[in-house]
């Protein structure tokens, strides 16, 4: 095995991000309430960050999953009272999804349960280091978001 990494730097950065995502996902799964999956938490977090309402199709596009997969996730969240689904006011064939107070509370509780993990990270890596990485990561996300293809049905 060579001592230097022959891989392109862009690949190496994206690979590091993938590994970080997997490690963070595993930590989050350890604190989610019984029966709540990462896909469920992600939808709750999406609404908590952005607010408003979206159709299942808009959510599917945002998460790069099929409409069927998103419909399943929304139905599970609705059954737990974490989101509300209502008819679309302008399109009788479509529905609008929004976060409930219970969904917001559960999302915040999961983040609070992660506080010790986040504190350990901040004890090891300073808030300034995280802040310095943020602009690059946000630009990378925005670029990849703009360049993505819609998922196949």
Q: What is the mean pLDDT of each run of 10 residues along the chain (153 residues)?
A: 79 95 91 87 96 94 94 96 92 90 94 89 92 96 85 53
**What CA–CA distance (Å, rounded) separates 94 from 50?**
21
**What CA–CA distance (Å, rounded) separates 52 from 73?**
18
**What CA–CA distance (Å, rounded) separates 143 from 149?**
12
Supply the pLDDT for residue 91.
78
pTM, full prediction: 0.79
Supply the pLDDT for residue 7.
92
């Amino acid at each position: 095995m060579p001592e230097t990494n022959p891989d392109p730097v862009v690949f190496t950065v994206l690979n590091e991000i993938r590994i970080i995502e997997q490690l963070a996902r595993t930590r989050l799964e350890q604190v989610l309430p019984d029966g709540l999956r990462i896909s469920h938490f992600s939808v709750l977090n999406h609404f908590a960050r952005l607010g408003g309402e979206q159709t299942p199709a808009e959510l599917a596009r945002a998460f790069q999953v099929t409409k069927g997969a998103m419909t399943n996730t929304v139905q599970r969240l609705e059954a737990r009272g974490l989101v509300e689904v209502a008819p679309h006011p302008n399109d009788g064939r479509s529905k609008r999804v929004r976060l409930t107070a219970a969904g917001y509370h559960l999302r915040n509780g999961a983040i609070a349960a992660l506080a010790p993990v986040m504190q350990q990270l901040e004890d090891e890596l300073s808030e300034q280091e995280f802040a310095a990485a943020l602009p690059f990561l946000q630009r990378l996300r925005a670029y990849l978001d703009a360049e993505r293809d819609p998922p196949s049905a």
